[in-house]
């Protein structure tokens, strides 16, 4: 093992329908971690686009076929060999158990054979580290909003390994709401980017009700149902206007929660990660809002916003530096209760 001055980790992500491997090196200077992404290879499983959602059994099978070529490609792109790796990080929770098992088993076997540390990573922590990778200057404390197909979480980031969950969704995740509304509009899965495209041609003519949730609680199912009822009430619905009106109310809702946290914690730095964060209109809207309300918004590079292996490698390095390797008995967990520290 090299000194702790520089570590190179392979990160593996198979929690849902992306098979991903990233290679990241990290230097620690005065307690500050600086990450360099050497490779970040993602294969999205298009097999699910026809079914309107991910079929777990099919996702697991696809991960098994893809994991070896994806890891080999990542090593080739990084110009590294297995022997150059100091550790292997992998998502162990939350996600589809069969999918997590593929990455977890592969990572354990590889780490064992190479005699290097194996480190389990919570997927959510990976999304937080996509912000640290994209913005080396971003130092805690800051607020983070993770919005994806599986998550809607507002967090207070106190340090690399200390986070507090302020709020989460009571029903659908933000991206899931986009996917379900997209399906109602006859768009393919996953539908977020199709909604965004349609919304560009529409106007906010329909006042869908903003979810009415206290404090940092989120909910999207009522809004989704409102769209469904509206669609049923129209003989010739204007899909562009529906997409635009839906997207606007979702983003107003997110900004309302952000503003609440900014005021309570007196923190004006907000990072937004996860698949929904690639929405260009959301980015523009936040930057505009930030100018008026003196909030600095941080969005990771597009390839870093959606699920990827580099963010898992980076979070894995932070876990490893804090508490060493994970036990080889680490099991996948579909749903995990959040603690103040996300590993
Ligand atoms: O982070 P991600 O790749 O995977 C999960 O962890 O879920 O996020 C995927 C989600 C999907 O729900 C997808 O519809 C949504 O991100 N998404 C978008 C956009 N692109 C992807 N939502 C809104 N606007 C977009 N442009
Ligand atoms: Zn994700």
**Do residues 18 and 44 lie in contact, with contact meaning Cβ atoms separated by under 8 Å?**
yes
The number of the ligand nearest the C-alpha atom of 175 reads: 1
Work out the burial of residue 128: count CB atoms within 10 Å of its CB; fewer than 13 is exposed, 13-18 middle, 19 or more buried.
Answer: buried
Which pLDDT tens digit goes with each residue over 29-58? Answer: 888 999 999 999 998 766 656 666 778 878
Q: Rounded to an integer, what distance in angstroms lies between the CA atom of residue 102 and that of residue 110?
A: 12
Q: Using 50, 70 and 90 to split pLDDT, how confident is the model at 2?
A: very low
Atom number in ligand 1 closest to CA 280: 26
The pLDDT value given to residue 49: 64
- The CA dihedral of 261, 266, 270, 276, to the nearest 10 degrees, is 10
Q: How far is CA 265 from CA 141, 250, 261, 287, in A?
A: 10, 23, 6, 20
Q: Using 50, 70 and 90 to split pLDDT, how confident is the model at 1?
A: very low
Give the DSSP letter string of 218-238.
B--HHHHHHHHHHHHH-SS--
Structure tokens at 153: 């979480």
Q: Rounded to an integer, what distance in angstroms lies between the CA atom of residue 94 and that of residue 15?
A: 7
Helices 280-293 and 192-200 meet at what angle, rounded to 10? Answer: 70
Q: Using 50, 70 and 90 to split pLDDT, how confident is the model at 230?
A: very high
4-13, 242-251, 306-315: segment of lowest average pLDDT: 4-13
**Ligand 1 atom 7 nearest Cα:** 149
Which pLDDT tens digit goes with each residue over 68-101? Answer: 999 999 999 999 999 999 999 999 999 999 999 9
Q: Which residues contact 208 (CB under 8 A, 6 or more apart)?
A: 223, 226, 227, 230, 245, 246, 249
Query: For strand 87-93 and strand 118-122, is the pairing parallel, antiparallel, or unpaired?
Result: parallel
Which pLDDT tens digit goes with each residue over 279-291? Answer: 999 999 999 999 9
The pLDDT value given to residue 339: 64
Average pLDDT, the chain: 94
Q: How remote is the CA of residue 308 from the centroid of ligand 2, in Å?
A: 8
> Ligand 1 pocket by C-beta < 6 Å: which residues?
16, 148-150, 175-176, 178-179, 190-193, 196, 274-276, 278-279, 306-307
Which pLDDT tens digit goes with each residue over 155-191? Answer: 999 999 999 999 999 999 999 999 999 999 999 989 9
N-to-C CA span, the chain: 22
Atom number in ligand 1 closest to CA 191: 14
DSSP letter at 326 equals P
Atom number in ligand 1 closest to CA 175: 12
**Ligand 1 atom 2 nearest Cα:** 275
**Mean pLDDT within 263-275:** 97
Mutational test site, ligand 1, from 19, 149, 253, max ligand atoms within 8 Å of CB:
149
Give the DSSP letter string of 89-133.
EEEEESS-HHHHHHHHHHHHHHHHHHT--EEEEEHHHHHHHHHHH
Q: Using 50, 70 and 90 to split pLDDT, how confident is the model at 215?
A: very high
Mutational test site, ligand 1, from 17, 18, 192, 251, max ligand atoms within 8 Å of CB:
192
The pLDDT value given to residue 33: 96
- pTM summary value: 0.94
The pLDDT value given to residue 3: 47
Atom number in ligand 1 closest to CA 173: 12
The number of the ligand nearest the C-alpha atom of 124 reads: 2
In the block, tokens 């790796």 appear at 85
Which pLDDT tens digit goes with each residue over 146-165? Answer: 999 999 999 999 999 999 99
Atom number in ligand 1 closest to CA 176: 12
**Do residues 231 and 242 lie in contact, with contact meaning Cβ atoms separated by under 8 Å?**
yes
């Amino acid at each position: 093992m090299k000194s702790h001055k520089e570590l190179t980790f392979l990160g593996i992500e198979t929690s849902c329908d992306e098979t991903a491997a990233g290679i990241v090196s990290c230097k620690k200077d005065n307690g500050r971690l600086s990450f360099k992404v050497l490779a970040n290879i993602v294969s999205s499983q298009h097999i699910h686009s026809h079914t309107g959602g991910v079929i777990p059994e099919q996702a697991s099978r696809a991960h098994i076929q893809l994991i070896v070529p994806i890891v080999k490609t990542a090593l080739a792109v990084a110009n590294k060999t297995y022997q150059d790796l100091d550790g292997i990080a992998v998502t162990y929770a939350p996600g589809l158990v069969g999918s997590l098992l593929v990455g977890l088993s592969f990572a354990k076997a590889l780490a064992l054979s190479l005699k290097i540390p194996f480190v389990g990573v919570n997927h959510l922590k990976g999304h937080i580290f996509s912000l640290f990778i994209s913005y080396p200057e971003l130092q805690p404390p800051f607020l983070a909003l993770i919005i994806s197909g599986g998550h809607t979480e507002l967090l207070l980031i106190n340090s690399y390994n200390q986070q507090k969950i302020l709020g989460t969704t009571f029903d659908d995740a933000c991206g899931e709401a986009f996917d379900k509304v997209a399906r109602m509009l006859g768009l393919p899965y996953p539908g977020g980017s199709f909604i965004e495209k349609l919304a560009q041609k529409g106007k906010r003519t329909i006042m869908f009700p903003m979810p009415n949730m206290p404090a940092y609680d989120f909910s999207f199912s009522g809004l989704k149902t409102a769209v469904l009822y509206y669609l049923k009430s129209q003989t010739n619905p204007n899909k562009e206007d529906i997409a635009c009106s839906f997207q606007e109310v979702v983003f107003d809702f997110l900004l309302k929660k952000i503003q609440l946290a900014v005021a309570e914690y007196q923190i004006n730095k907000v990072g937004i990660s996860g698949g929904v964060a690639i929405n260009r209109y959301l980015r523009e809207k936040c930057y505009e809002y930030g100018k008026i309300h003196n909030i600095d918004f941080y969005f990771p590079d597009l390839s870093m916003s959606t699920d990827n292996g580099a963010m898992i490698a980076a979070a894995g390095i932070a876990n490893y530096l804090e508490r060493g390797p994970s036990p080889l008995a680490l099991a996948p967990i579909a749903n995990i209760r959040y603690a103040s520290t996300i590993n």
